[in-house]
Chains A and B, each alone.
Chain A
Amino acid sequence: MNTWLIIAVDGVAFASWLFLISVGMTLIYGVLRILNVAHGSLYALGAYTGASLIIAYFRHDLWPYGSYLVLFGAALLVGVIAGPLIERGLLRWVYDRDPAVQLLVTYALFLILEDAIKLGWGADPYYAYKPYQLLGQVQLGGIAYPRYSFLLLGIAVAAGGALWLFINRTRFGKLIVAVIEDPEISTAMGVNVPRVYVITFTLGAVLAALGGAFTAPMISVAPGIAVEVIVLAFAVVVIGGLGSLEGAALGALIVGIVRAAAVHHIPDLELFAIYLVMAAVLLVRPQGLFAREERRRI
Chain B
Amino acid sequence: MRPLLITVALLALLAGLGFVLPAWIIFLLSLAFARGLAILSVALLLRAGLVSFGQGLFFAASAYTVAFVMRAWGVREAALATALGTAAGVLVAGVTGLLLARYREIFFAMLTLAFSMVLYGILVKAYALTGGSDGMAVATPTIAGLALEAERLRSGLYLLTLSCTAAVAYLTFRYMNSPLGYAARAVRDNEVRLEYLGLSTWGTIYLTYVLAGGLSGLGGALMALNVGHVDPQLAYWTTSGEFVFVALLGGIGNVLAPLGGAVVFEILRAYAFKYAPYIWQMIMGSAMLLIILFMPEGLWTIYTSAVRRIRIRRWSWRRLG
Q: In terms of DSSP, what is the predominant structure of the interface of chain B?
A: helix
Contact with B along A212-243 (1 / 0, CB 8 A): 00000000000000010001001100100010
Nearest CB of chain B from residue A130's CB, rounded to whole Å: 30
Residues of B within 8 A of A235 (CB): 110, 114
Contact with A along B5-47 (1 / 0, CB 8 A): 0000000000000000000000000000000000000000010
**Is A242's CB under 8 angstroms from B111's CB?**
no
Residues of A within 8 A of B192 (CB): 296, 298
Q: Which of A90, A94, A275 contacts B117 (CB 8 A)?
A: A275
**Is B118's CB under 8 angstroms from A108's CB?**
no
**Is B107's CB under 8 angstroms from A282's CB?**
yes
Across the A-B interface, give the 4 residue pairs with the lowest CB-CB distance, nearest first.
Answer: A111-B285, A272-B121, A115-B282, A112-B285
Residues of B within 8 A of A45 (CB): none
For residue B104, which residue of chain A has the nearest CB?
A: A99
Known A-B contacts A242-B106, A271-B121, A298-B192; the reply to A104 vs B244 at CB < 8 A is: yes
Pairs A–B under 8 Å by Cβ, sample size 18: A93-B293, A100-B109, A108-B288, A109-B285, A110-B285, A111-B285, A111-B288, A115-B279, A115-B280, A115-B285, A231-B113, A231-B237, A234-B113, A272-B118, A278-B111, A283-B99, A286-B102, A298-B192
**Is B124's CB under 8 angstroms from A271's CB?**
yes
**Is B103's CB under 8 angstroms from A286's CB?**
yes
Q: Which of A104-151 contact B (CB under 8 A)?
A: 104-105, 107-112, 114-116, 118-119
Q: Which of A236-277 contact B (CB under 8 A)?
A: 238, 242, 268, 271-272, 275-276
Q: Which of B49, B282, B284 contacts A100 (CB 8 A)?
A: B49
Residues of A within 8 A of B102 (CB): 286
Give Cα A275 to B57, complex, Å. Answer: 14
Q: Which of B92-134 contact A (CB under 8 A)?
A: 99, 102-103, 105-107, 109-111, 113-115, 117-118, 121-122, 124-125
For residue A279, which residue of chain B has the nearest CB?
A: B114
For residue B293, which residue of chain A has the nearest CB?
A: A93
Give Cα A279 to B122, complex, Å. Answer: 16
**Is B292's CB under 8 angstroms from A231's CB?**
no
Interface size counted on chain A using CB atoms at 8 A:
42
Interface centre among A101, A111, A227, by most chain B C-beta atoms within 10 angstroms, is A111
Residues of B within 8 A of A112 (CB): 281-282, 285-286, 289
Q: Which of A16-60 contact B (CB under 8 A)?
A: 35
Residues of A within 8 A of B106 (CB): 35, 99, 103, 242
Interface centre among A112, A116, A235, by most chain B C-beta atoms within 10 angstroms, is A112
Nearest CB of chain A from residue B99's CB, rounded to whole Å: 7
Interface centre among B99, B114, B279, B286, by most chain A C-beta atoms within 10 angstroms, is B114
Q: Which of A108, A242, A276 contacts B285 (CB 8 A)?
A: A108
Nearest CB of chain B from residue A47's CB, rounded to whole Å: 18
Residues of B within 8 A of A98 (CB): 49
For residue A115, which residue of chain B has the nearest CB?
A: B282
Residues of B within 8 A of A272 (CB): 117-118, 121-122
Give Cα A111 to B248, complex, Å. Answer: 15
Q: Which of B114, B238, B281, B284 contacts A275 (CB 8 A)?
A: B114
Which A residues are closer than 8 A to B by beta carbons?
35, 90, 93-94, 97-101, 103-105, 107-112, 114-116, 118-119, 227, 231, 234-235, 238, 242, 268, 271-272, 275-276, 278-279, 282-283, 286-287, 296, 298
Known A-B contacts A115-B281, A278-B114; the reply to A103 vs B124 at CB < 8 A is: no
Known A-B contacts A94-B292, A104-B292, A275-B118; the reply to A111 vs B109 at CB < 8 A is: no
Give Cα A276 to B122, complex, Å. Answer: 12
**Is B278's CB under 8 angstroms from A119's CB?**
yes
For residue A38, which residue of chain B has the nearest CB?
A: B285
Q: Which of B99, B109, B115, B289 contacts A109 (CB 8 A)?
A: B289
**Is A268's CB under 8 angstroms from B107's CB?**
no
Known A-B contacts A109-B285, A112-B282, A275-B114; the reply to A103 vs B109 at CB < 8 A is: yes
Known A-B contacts A231-B237, A234-B110, A286-B102; the reply to A105 vs B292 at CB < 8 A is: yes
Residues of A within 8 A of B118 (CB): 272, 275-276, 279
Residues of A within 8 A of B46 (CB): 100
Residues of B within 8 A of A268 (CB): 125
Residues of A within 8 A of B152 (CB): none
Residues of B within 8 A of A101 (CB): 292
Give Cα A107 to B242, complex, Å. Answer: 10
Q: Which of B265-321 contact A (CB under 8 A)?
A: 278-282, 284-286, 288-289, 292-293
**Is A108's CB under 8 angstroms from B121's CB?**
no
Given contacts A108-B284, A279-B111, 12 further A-B contacts (CB under 8 A): A100-B50, A108-B285, A110-B285, A111-B281, A111-B288, A112-B285, A116-B282, A231-B113, A235-B110, A272-B117, A286-B102, A298-B190
Give Cα A112 to B287, complex, Å. Answer: 10
Residues of A within 8 A of B109 (CB): 100, 103
Residues of A within 8 A of B115 (CB): 275, 279
Nearest CB of chain B from residue A25's CB, rounded to whole Å: 12
Q: Does B181 contact A (CB under 8 A)?
A: no
Nearest CB of chain B from residue A96's CB, rounded to whole Å: 12
Residues of A within 8 A of B107 (CB): 238, 282, 286-287
Q: Does B193 contact A (CB under 8 A)?
A: yes
Give Cα A271 to B122, complex, Å. Answer: 8
Known A-B contacts A109-B289, A283-B99; the reply to A231 vs B117 at CB < 8 A is: yes
**Is B51's CB under 8 angstroms from A227's CB?**
no
**Is B237's CB under 8 angstroms from A108's CB?**
no
